[in-house]
Amino acid sequence: MVCSEGMTCSIFLQVQSLQYCDILGAGMTGKICELCTTAGGTVLWASPTCRVVLVDDPSYPGFCRVVWTAHVREMSDLEPAQRQSLMNVVFAVETVVRSLFTPDKMNLASLGNLTPHLHWHVIPRWHDDRHFPEPIWGSVQRDAPRPHPAVSADTLRQALGKQLHPDEHQG
């Protein structure tokens, strides 16, 4: 069986109506990719090519991931139109999170060092959050930040549905 960009898949799984693959490749031999076998969070919106999930992190309300469905390691593995489509979703998520959570700053990150599956982190930041001004993976700067806006997954889901194309599937 062949998965994206001609890479051979060892298994092909059906999870929450989306297709994922366990890739045999650099650094993944014998391991199952977390973002291929799980949604990676609460699904807020999905299309055939990607999904938006809410990350369960009480220190960072509104922290979302945009996950490419197929197991792809890098942005440059995508065709130009696919890259643009993915970034349109990332920017839509940023717009919705900014509107609903009113953070001091937004962080967009695509790392994949621990999970080499293409995904973007969309993270609202506040000057008094646990890690500011460090990245959220950096050293803790304070233990008890003030509470930040609470927005339900349903509210996020509805706002994303309005921001993204209505003809695409919502999670």
Query: The tokens 């299309």 sit on which residue?
Result: 47
Q: Which two tokens stand for residue 7?
A: 């890479």
Amino acid sitting at position 111: L
pTM above threshold 0.85: no
**Third-level CATH fold of 34-163:** HIT family, subunit A (3.30.428)
Share of the chain above pLDDT 70, in %: 77
Query: The tokens 């609903």 sit on which residue?
Result: 100
Question: Tell me, what DSSP letter sits at residue 7?
Answer: P
- Nearest CA to 25 out of 41, 11, 37, 8 is that of 8
Read off the pLDDT band of 30 (50, 70, 90): low
More confident residue, 2 or 21: 21
Enumerate the β-bridge partners of residue 125. Answer: 105
**pLDDT, tens digit, 9 for 90 and up, residues 46-100:** 999 999 999 999 889 999 999 999 999 999 999 999 999 999 999 999 999 999 9
Helix (H, G, I), strand (E, B) or coil at 158: helix
Give the pLDDT score at 150: 87
Rounded to whole angstroms, the Cα distance separating 69 from 106 reads: 24
Torsion angle defined by CA atoms of residues 4, 2, 11 and 16, in that order, rounded to the nearest 10 degrees = 50
Give the pLDDT score at 44: 96
Give the pLDDT score at 115: 86
Enumerate the β-bridge partners of residue 43. Answer: 53
Question: Tell me, what DSSP letter sits at residue 14?
Answer: E
**pLDDT, tens digit, 9 for 90 and up, residues 150-168:** 899 999 999 999 999 754 4
Amino acid sitting at position 115: T
